[in-house]
Structure 1
Amino acid sequence: MSLAAALGTSTLYPLQPAIAEVAVSLGSRVTAVGFALACGPVGYLVGLSFLVPLVDRCSPGRVLAAQFGVLAAASALSAAVGNVWVLGSVIGVVGACSAVGAGLSSVAGRLAPPHRRATVLGVVTAGISAGILAGRIVGGWLTDEIGWRGMLLAFAAACAVVAACCPVVLPAARGGSERGYLAVLRSLPGLFVRYAVLRIAAVRGALWFFAFCAVWAGIAVALSAPPFSYSAERIGWYALAGLAGIPATQVAGTWTDRVGARRVILAGLALAGVAAAVAGFALADTAVTLVCLAIFDAGLFAAQVANQSTVLSIDPAAPARFNSAYMLVYFVGGSLGTAFGAAAAEWLGWPTTAVITAVVIGVAGAITATVRE
């Protein structure tokens, strides 16, 4: 499930390092290709809303196999298009089906025993985190080796293999939801009104995902400008520092089961906030910056595992609708953070951007410390 979550999540990102190559190949402007790639996150929001709740209504093996099958077909079609607007439409489909990671974490939360729920979730979340960070790296590398069309065909082949494995490996048992599908969709906004735990988890999660995306978008802008003027490939390798933080998800899951979510969240946010502040003034020192990025990611990954475990425990028999509602707010925070980080790094400078993200993380920590759940 963790490997499948990594692959499904990664399909949203491999074209990002290849924007220039895609523009030249399609005879289009880089800006137009950028708009086409923006259809991916829009599709992801659609997938969170309409596809994730299905894993409680239907056999997870069949639902997720179908989504991986569509991912394979859409990725292959993306490799064959000759028009940037058609590419955008297909990428929207890819984005919707890349929400399989959220579906897999919902299934993991439902199947895990209560005393090990966070530990199991940490394993699956490690795959999602790896997919977010590695999708760009693998996509850029394969593009250099076999071209962007060949790269997409490689992702399509991998998705096809996983689609064939899902009905065999994943459980066929449905969740305990007695609601109809449309009733589940209508109930999503009301969950925030009814469940304070969900409101708190969604707000603080959106805050630190805002900070996460702002840091990674901002540092890319800062490193591409003088005095660094790094290439896109060189900037992409900074994501390897984030991969070092992935083991923190499994450690965080174990400790959440032992000491509770609040302590793990506070510890993770404290590490991430300090690391962001230090990174704001250490960009000239590559080693220090990489260490800060690794600690930053580790802290936020740990907080995410602990936070999401509280969401999935609200209704253990049918957690997908709660996970869907939570991830919608969480992803909106990240989208705003990406836009803020890129603009702030250009207008305000990298040090100010990093300090602002540290303050945002501090706000999330204050909410966790002061609000009783």
Structure 2
Amino acid sequence: MAVAAALGTASIYPLQPAIAAVAGSFGASLAEVGGALACGPVGYMAGLVLLVPLVDRVPPRTVVAAQFWALGVALAGAAAVGSPWLLGLAIGVIGAGSSVGAQLSSVAGRFAEPSRRATVLGMVTAGISAGILLGRIVGGWLADAIGWRGMLLLLAAACAVVAVAARAVLPAETGDAGSSYLGLLRGLPGLYARFPVLRLAAGRGALWFFAFCAVWAGLAVALSEPPFSYSAERIGLYACAGLLGIVATRVAGAWTDRVGARRVILAGLGLAAAATVILATSLSNTVVTLGFLGLFDAGLFAAQVANQSTVLAIDPAATARFNSAYMLVYFVGGSAGTAFGAAAVSWFGWAVTAFIAAGAIVVAAAITVSVRAAGA
């Protein structure tokens, strides 16, 4: 599941470093291709709502295998298009299919033993984190080596292999959804009103994912402008700092099972807030920046594993609907952070942007301290 989650999540990112090559092949502007790539997050949000709840009604091996087949077809289709608007359509479908990572974390939450739920979730989340990181790095490398179309075809072939493996090894049992598929979708908004744990987890998660995306989006802008004026390739290498975050997800899962989610969340947020304050003043020192970016990622990834484990424990027989509701709010926070971070560096400068991100993390920690919900 961790490998499948990595591949599914990575599929939305590999064209980002190759945007200039894509624009050149179409004879289009960077803005046009950028608009096409922006369809990915829109598709992902649609997938969170429409596709993730399916694993509460359909056997995981069936729905995950089918989604990887569809993802492979969409990737192959994207490799064959000849215009930005067709690429945008294909990228939207790929974005929806990439929500398979959230499906797999739901499956992990349902079938893991309660005493090891966070540990298993940490393994799958490590795969998702690896996909976010490696999707950009490997995508850029493959696009240079075999062209962006060849890179998409290779990913499509990998999706076909994973589809066969998912059909063979994932569980065949259905969840106890208790209502029709349309009933599940209609019931998603009501979950926030009925379950305080979900409200707490979604609210604080959206705050720190806002901070996470604001820092990374703002960092790219700050490093591309004077006095740094780094190339896109060099800026992309800063993502390697996220390797520490992948390790943190594994460790955080095990510690959540031992000491509880609340302690792990507060420890992770404390580490991330402190790292963000240092990042606000250390951008000119590459070594320090990379080190504290790693700690920043590690803290927030650890908090995410612990936080998500509280959501999946609400109803172990129907984890997908709760995960869908949680991830939708979480992703809205991240989208707002991306938009804010990219603009805020131009408005206020890097230091103020980083301090605002640190403030969002502190607010998330304060909510965790002051609001107690059963199991959270």
Confirm or deny a common fold (TM above 0.5): yes
Deviation per residue, 1:300-354 (Å, 9 max, x gap)? 0000000000000000111110000000000000000000000011221111111
Aligned-partner SS, 1:173: coil
- Structure 1 position 14 matched with structure 2 position 14: yes
CA distance in 2, matches of 1:42, 1:365: 29
What is the CA RMSD across the aligned residues, in angstroms? Answer: 0.6
Asked if 1:259 corresponds to 2:259, the answer is yes
Give the 5 Å matches for 1:172-211. 172-211=172-211
Q: Which runs of 4+ in 1 moved over 4 A?
A: none
Counterpart of 1:301? 301
Which residue matches 2:76?
A: 76
The alpha carbon displacement at 1:249 in A equals 0.6
What is the CA–CA distance in structure 2 between the aligned matches of 1:149 and 1:308, rounded to whole Å?
36
Offset at residue 235 of structure 1 (A): 0.5
Does the Cα contact within 8 Å between 2:213 and 2:335 map onto a contact in 1?
Answer: yes
Q: Distance in 1 between matches of 2:298 and 2:171?
A: 30
Letter in 2 for 1:162: V
| Distance in 2, Cα, partners of 1:113 & 1:199 | 25
Aligned-residue offset at 1:23: 0.7
Opposite residue 23 of structure 2, the aligned amino acid is: A
Which aligned pairs between 1:33-48 and structure 2 lie closer than 5 A? 33-48=33-48
Q: Which residue of 1 aligns with 2:151?
A: 151
> Matched residues in 1 for 2:67 and 2:108: separation?
17
- Counterpart of 2:214? 214
In structure 2, distance between residues paired with 1:346 and 1:139: 28
Give 1:181's aligned amino acid: Y
Partner of 1:274: 274
Unaligned runs of 5+ in 1: none
AA aligned to 1:74 is: A
Q: Deviations over 1:279-305 (max 9, x none)?
A: 111011000000000000000000000
Q: Helix, strand or coil: the match of 2:318?
A: coil
Separation in structure 1 between the aligned mates of residue 157 and residue 337 of structure 2, nearest angstrom: 32
Q: Distance in 2 between matches of 1:326 and 1:335?
A: 14
> Equivalent residue of 1:228, what SS?
coil
| CA distance in structure 1 between the partners assigned to 2:108 and 2:363 by the alignment | 30
Cα displacement (A) at 1:169: 1.1
Find the residue that maps to 1:317 and give its secondary structure.
Answer: helix
1:5 aligns with: 5
Counterparts of 1:283 and 1:365, CA distance in 2? 25
Distance in 2 separating the partners of 1:160 and 1:215: 35
Which amino acid in 2 is paired with 1:2? A
Amino acid at match of 1:153: L
| Equivalence for 1:230 | 230
2-structure distance, mates of 1:26, 1:344: 32
Structure 2: distance between partners of 1:350 and 1:20: 26
| Cα distance between partner residues in 2 of 1:277 and 1:353 | 10
- Aligned runs of 1:30-109 on 2, under 5 Å? 30-109=30-109
SS at match of 2:38: helix
- Unaligned runs of at least 5 residues, structure 2: none
**Aligned residue identity for 1:204:** R
Checking the alignment, whether the CA contact within 8 Å between 2:6 and 2:127 is kept in structure 1 is yes
Cα distance in 2, alignment partners of residues 244 and 148 from structure 1: 28
Quote the Cα distance in structure 2 between the aligned partners of 1:233 and 1:143: 13
**Matched pairs, number:** 373
Query: Take 1:113 and 1:161, find their aligned partners in 2: how far apart are those partners?
Result: 28
> Is the 2:129–2:245 Cα contact (8 Å) retained in structure 1?
no
TM-score by length of 1: 0.99
Q: What is residue 325 of structure 2 aligned with on the other side?
A: 325
> SS state of the match for residue 237, structure 1?
helix
For 1:350, the equivalent position in structure 2 comes to 350
- Name the aligned partner's letter for residue 314 of structure 2: I
State how far apart, in whole Å, the 1-side matches of 2:212 and 2:10 are: 17
Q: Distance in 1 between matches of 2:45 and 2:56?
A: 18
- Write the deviation string for residues 127-185 of structure 1: whole angstroms up to 9, x where unpaired: 01111111111111111111111111111111111011111011111112221101000
Identity %: 70
SS of aligned partner of 2:317: coil
Q: Distance in 2 between matches of 1:363 and 1:6?
A: 30
Q: Counterpart of 1:23?
A: 23
Give the Cα–Cα distance (whole angstroms) in 2 for the partners of residues 244 and 140 of structure 1: 21
**Rounded Cα–Cα distance in structure 2 between residues aligned with 1:28 and 1:134:** 27
Residue in structure 1 matched with residue 125 of structure 2 by the alignment = 125
What's the offset of the Cα at 1:57?
Answer: 0.1
Write the distance in 2 (CA, Å) between the matches of 1:147 and 1:224.
25
User: Could you tell me how far 1:209 is from its partner in structure 2?
Assistant: 0.5
Distance 2:57 2:361 in 1: 36
- Give the SS at the match of 1:226: coil
Determine the C-alpha separation between the residues in 2 that align with 1:285 and 1:17.
24
